[in-house]
Amino acid sequence: MKILMVCLGNICRSPLAHGLLRKKAADNIEVDSAGTGNWHEGEAPDHRMIRTARKHGVDISDLRARTFVVDDFDRFDVIYVMDQSNYNNVVKLARDQNDVKKVKLLLSTLEDSNEYEVPDPYFGGDDGFEHVFKLVDSATDAILKQQQ
């Protein structure tokens, strides 16, 4: 199973999702992350996201941002996006319905959530990063449960 986590910059939400799933999953799950924008290409995750993840025992400092490419539709079985805007950006690049079917909102894995999007924490305070951690932690647990 190959899973790609996608957000806008690939420096806050999707590297966290990448690092959390990498830590929790067994060898049968391969995970990567990408951003729909290219502003942060090659950069490490935002220091606030690194710090929040570290506080919860997850090291994401080795990850480097890259931009989502059409090839990713071939390389991955599922493409989880963080919000509706990411969904629209990725689906715009889809070549056919098979590509479109691979794209899912990450929080659609949560059965009893009334939140559908992982909010962008970039312009906010520390609370936003903590909130992102809780949502992505629950969603990555749900992904593993689905695989069982």
State the catalytic residue, choosing from 12, 13, 46, 48: 13
Contact status: 19 vs ligand 4NP (CB under 6 A)? no
Q: How far is the CB of 57 from ligand 4NP (least distance, A)?
A: 21
Which listed residue (3, 4, 12, 79) binds ligand 4NP by CB under 6 A? 12
Strand partners, 2: 30
Contact status: 9 vs ligand 4NP (CB under 6 A)? yes
Angle at which helices 47-55 and 126-147 pack, to 10 degrees? 60
State the catalytic residue, choosing from 62, 74, 120, 141: 120
E runs forming strands in 2-134? 2-7, 30-35, 78-81, 103-105
Helix (H) / strand (E) element for 24: namely helix 13-24
Catalog residues that contact ligand 4NP under the rule CB under 6 A: 7-13, 35, 39, 120, 122
